[in-house]
Chains A and B, each alone.
Chain A
Amino acid sequence: MKGKMRQGRTSQTEFEQEPTKEKRNNQDTRKHSLRTNALLLGIYFAMLVVWEMANRLFHVPAYLLPPPSAIARSIVENPGQLLGNFITTLQEVLVGFCIGVVVSLALGALIVSISFFERLIYPALVAFQAIPKVALAPILVVWFGFGPTSKIMLGFVSAMFPIVVNTVIGLKQTHPEMIYLMRSLGASSLQIFLKIRLLTAAPYIFGGFKVGITLAVVGAVVGEFIAANSGLGYMLLVANNSFKITEMFSVVVILSLMSIGLYYLIELIEVILLPKPLRRKGNTLETGAKT
Chain B
Amino acid sequence: MQTQQDYGMLAASVRLDEVSRLYKRGGNSDLLAVDRVSLEVFPAEFCSVLGPSGCGKSTLLMMIAGLYPTSSGRVFINDTLVNGPYTELGIVFQRDVLLDWRTVLDNVLLPIEVKGLSKARYRERALELLNMVGLGEFAGAYPEQLSGGMRQRVAICRALVHDPPLLLMDEPFGALDALTREKLNLDLMRLTTESNKTMIFVTHSIDEAVLMSDRIVIMSPRPGKVTQVLEVDLPKPRTLETRADPHFHALVHKIREAFHSMGII
User: Which A residues contact B (CB, under 8 angstroms)?
Assistant: 2, 4-5, 7-8, 10, 15, 175, 177-178, 180-187, 191, 195-196, 199, 274-278, 280-281
A4 pairs with B147, CB closer than 8 A:
yes
A4 pairs with B67, CB closer than 8 A:
no
Flag whether B115 is at the interface (Cβ < 8 A): yes
B contacts with A, residue count (CB < 8 A) = 34
Within the complex, which residue of B67, B137, B149 is in contact with A184, where a contact is CB–CB below 8 Å?
A: B67
C-alpha gap A2/B113 in the complex (Å): 28
Within the complex, which residue of B99, B111, B149 is in contact with A185, where a contact is CB–CB below 8 Å?
A: B111
Closest residue of B by beta carbon distance from A15: B137
Flag whether B142 is at the interface (Cβ < 8 A): yes
A178 pairs with B137, CB closer than 8 A:
no
**Contact partners of B146 in chain A: CB under 8 A:** 4-5, 7
A175 pairs with B100, CB closer than 8 A:
no
**Contact partners of B99 in chain A: CB under 8 A:** 178, 196, 199
With contacts A5-B145, A7-B149 taken as known, whether A182 is within 8 angstroms of B101 at the C-beta atoms is: no
Within the complex, which residue of A7, A15, A181, A195 is in contact with B150, where a contact is CB–CB below 8 Å?
A: A7
C-alpha gap A2/B142 in the complex (Å): 10
27 sample A-B contacts, Cβ–Cβ < 8 Å, listed by A number: A4-B145, A4-B147, A7-B134, A7-B146, A7-B149, A8-B134, A175-B95, A175-B97, A177-B97, A180-B65, A181-B91, A181-B97, A184-B85, A184-B86, A184-B89, A184-B91, A185-B87, A185-B110, A196-B99, A274-B101, A275-B102, A277-B100, A277-B101, A277-B143, A277-B144, A278-B100, A281-B100
Q: With contacts defined as CB atoms under 8 Å apart, how many contacts are there between chain A and chain B in the complex?
A: 74
CB distance from B63 to the nearest CB of A (A): 12
CB distance from A228 to the nearest CB of B (A): 44
C-alpha gap A96/B99 in the complex (Å): 34
User: Which B residues contact A (CB, under 8 angstroms)?
Assistant: 62, 65-67, 85-87, 89, 91, 93, 95, 97, 99-102, 110-111, 113-115, 134, 137-138, 141-147, 149-150, 162
With contacts A4-B147, A7-B149 taken as known, whether A178 is within 8 angstroms of B85 at the C-beta atoms is: no
Closest residue of B by beta carbon distance from A174: B97
C-alpha gap A274/B137 in the complex (Å): 25
A185 pairs with B65, CB closer than 8 A:
no
**Contact partners of A2 in chain B: CB under 8 A:** 144-145
**Contact partners of A276 in chain B: CB under 8 A:** 142
CB distance from B96 to the nearest CB of A (A): 9
C-alpha gap A191/B260 in the complex (Å): 47
List 7 other contacts, CB 8 Å, given A185-B87, A277-B142: A5-B138, A5-B145, A5-B150, A181-B93, A183-B67, A185-B111, A195-B113
**Contact partners of B115 in chain A: CB under 8 A:** 185-186
C-alpha gap A274/B100 in the complex (Å): 12
